[in-house]
Amino acid sequence: MTKLLSLRLSIGYLVAAAAAAGCAKQPAEKLDETRSTVADLALRNGAIYTVDGARSWAETIAIDDGRIVYVGNDAGAKNYIGPQTQVVDLEGRMVLPGMQDVHIHPISGGIEANGCDLNAATNVEEYVATIKKYADEHPNETWIKGGGWAMSAFGPGALARKELIDAVVPDRPVILWSRDGHTVWANSKALEAAGITKDTPDPPDGRIDRDPKSGEPIGSLQEGAGGLVAEKAPPDTDATRDAGLRYAVKMLNRYGITGVQDASVNEEDLKAYHRLDDAGELTLRVVGSIWWEREPGLAQIEGIKNLRSEYTGGRIDAGTVKIMQDGVMENYTAVVLEPYKLPGKKDVRGIPMVEPELLKQAVTKLDAEGFQVHFHAIGDGAVRQALDAVEAARAANGNLGHRHHISHIQLIHPDDQPRFRKLGVVANFQPLWAYADDYITELTLPFISKEPASYLYPIASMERSGAVVAFGSDWSVSSANPFEEMETAITRMDAVGKPTTPWMPEERIGLPEALAAFTINAAYTNRDERNTGSLEVGKRANLAVLDRNLFEIAPTEISDTKVLVTLFEGRTVHGDLGAL
């Protein structure tokens, strides 16, 4: 039912009548008290955590035409319930605002999940078995593509090698992206197809790993070197992209997620989002971060403006630009203030992807043009470069209120921590990474000194600094399950594996902060907090009904939480209200 329309009409009538009568405009709240219209749906007898300014709880929420028309106690809901209202008894279950993931790769992640997916495998033997099984099941695929392997599975200091894949797929090219998206594992056929030999020089933005004795490429390609083989593979088709996106949307709705920021989109991705939106299948809102190319510099801004105007609409906001400022710690491409501790190598401080002075100019121009900038910065050096760029934009343009944000932020130097709040930059953490896993203990800590090790993923410090802290998963780099991510932020322990001891316990945060980072703060980061991020009258009816009350369980149980029902714009997109 479109009660909002009739409400709007009646307000319009009243205002016109009031104007005609020469009296004051009727306040809209008065209308709500006496309205005769009823809601489509009322969820009553719940533990509704609204995430409004006071973090208040409610018992009942009434929804009409995709928007929230009432939030409060059961008694007050009676004016909104009529014969046509579907009334659901929540039997005390907890309800959250639909969550938002502010750094995720839905399309590529979905394509990967639909391809040769190694995410569920945990060691090299399982990787090889999975590759073989996929190859056997897909005899007609001329190239095998996929990903989801972890560098740590190969052991400390060891790299992925082509021979492992050659043993099971000798006849066609195979390329597999690492879980973090920074390395390609290729077999001999793929290297051959790309013409990569021991004479091929490293590209400026990457590294071809080689056998130290023979100089032969071993099948592990870092950063931009991965592109040398990937660009030879048959491109993804519209159908592959749509199928990948469908997979991701379904998965995210299942987790209670109703909004995302895609951390890297190109024109083909934006088209895929619109195709699904036009078909009524895009059951979440999307901010697309348009990828900043390394080569063209400022000249690309006109093209980015065109993409924004062409593809912003429906449930898609294409007003963000993604600038990748460094690489990752594991292969020493993250830009760090203090050189990496590497035997025999001096002064390795990572690779800035955009020269810092150009970065200042780019961010200043993008800010003036109304763009939000989404930075990738992992090392403390890259974080500082990103903050310096926003500071330059502020000096030139004043505060234009854009929610620039820095993702990953593995190391934030204490001098830079207060600058997020000062410059209005959102701290965009991937909290699932904030515990002592192999990446930390084997691939990070041995290569950095004590001081930077004391400010790894400083989530609580950033909360205390007053910065807006928002969370994202970086799926398919890691799980997109927000309950696993929240548990890790709260415990600083592995949310799904064996119990460990909290790592850097002083950086643990509380449940309300973790929830805010996935709801109202994520909505703010997605420039949609007027419409989403909390359960308040007038906002979109995006919400998740949980199987347990997060405030009544041990923190280590948070990751076990299941979402029973997800509503997006008032519509059930996961689960069944009738089965509650």
Q: Rule CB under 5 A: is residue 112 a binding residue for Zn ion?
A: no
Q: Is 7 in the site for Zn ion (CB under 5 A)?
A: no
- Looking from the CA of 433 toward its CB, the CA atoms found within 13 Å total 28
Using CB under 5 A as the binding rule, whether residue 263 contacts Zn ion is answered as: yes
Residue 196 or residue 354: which is nearer to Zn ion going by CB? 354
Q: Which stretch binds Zn ion (CB under 5 A): 120-128, 155-163, 193-201, 261-269?
A: 261-269
Provide, rounded to whole angstroms, the least separation between the CB of residue 474 and Zn ion: 4
Give how far Cα 173 sits from Cα of 131, 143, 176, 188, Å: 12, 5, 10, 7
| Contacts with 13 (C-beta within 8 Å, 6 or more apart), sequence order | none
Report if residue 260 touches Zn ion, rule: CB under 5 A. Answer: no
Q: To which residue do tokens 């909104």 refer?
A: 80
DSSP state of 345: B
Kindly state the number of chain residues that form the binding site for Zn ion, as judged by CB under 5 A: 2
Task: Compute the least distance from the CB of residue 289 to Zn ion, in Å.
Answer: 9
Nearer to Zn ion, 59 or 474 (CB): 474
135 binds Zn ion (CB under 5 A): no
Q: Which is nearer to Zn ion, 263 or 359 (CB)?
A: 263
- Of 383 and 392, the one with the shorter C-beta distance to Zn ion is 383
Q: Which is nearer to Zn ion, 7 or 263 (CB)?
A: 263
Which element (helix H / strand E) includes 233? none
The residue (of 431 and 555) whose beta carbon lies closer to Zn ion is: 431
Instruction: Decide the pairing of beta strands 469-471 and 426-429.
Output: parallel
b/e burial code for range 102-123 (CB count within 10 A of at least 16 → b) = bbbbbbbbbbbbebbbbbebee
> Could you tell me the smallest distance in angstroms from the CB atom of residue 531 to Zn ion?
25
Q: Does 378 bind Zn ion (CB under 5 A)?
A: no
Q: Is 262 in the site for Zn ion (CB under 5 A)?
A: no
Q: With respect to Zn ion, which residue has the nearer C-beta, 59 or 269?
A: 269
How does DSSP classify residue 26?
P
Phi, psi torsion values for 545, nearest 5 degrees = -100, 125
Interface region with Zn ion, contact rule CB under 5 A, candidates 296-304, 473-481, 508-516, 563-571: 473-481
Q: Alpha-carbon distance 311 to 392, whole Å?
A: 29
Stretch that binds Zn ion, among 276-284, 358-366, 468-476, 516-524 (CB under 5 A): 468-476
Closer CB to Zn ion, 469 or 546, in the complex: 469
287 sits near Zn ion (criterion: CB under 5 A): no
All residues at 6 or more sequence positions from 226 whose CB lies less than 8 Å from its CB, including other chains: 175, 177, 182, 183, 184, 206
Contacting range for Zn ion; rule: CB under 5 A; set: 53-61, 274-282, 315-323, 469-477:
469-477
Angle between helices 511-518 and 482-491 (to 10 degrees): 140
End-to-end CA distance of the chain: 23
Write down the least CB distance from residue 145 to Zn ion, Å: 18
CB of 103 to Zn ion, least distance (A): 6
Q: Which residues pair with 566 in a beta bridge?
A: 544, 574
Report, in Å, the least distance between residue 106 CB and Zn ion: 11
Helix (H), strand (E) at residue 380: helix 380-397
User: Binding residue for Zn ion (CB under 5 A) from 65, 180, 474, 536?
Assistant: 474
The C-alpha atoms of residue 410 and residue 257 are separated, in whole angstroms, by 24
Indicate the residue among 330 and 474 with the shorter CB distance to Zn ion: 474
Site residues, Zn ion (CB under 5 A): 263, 474
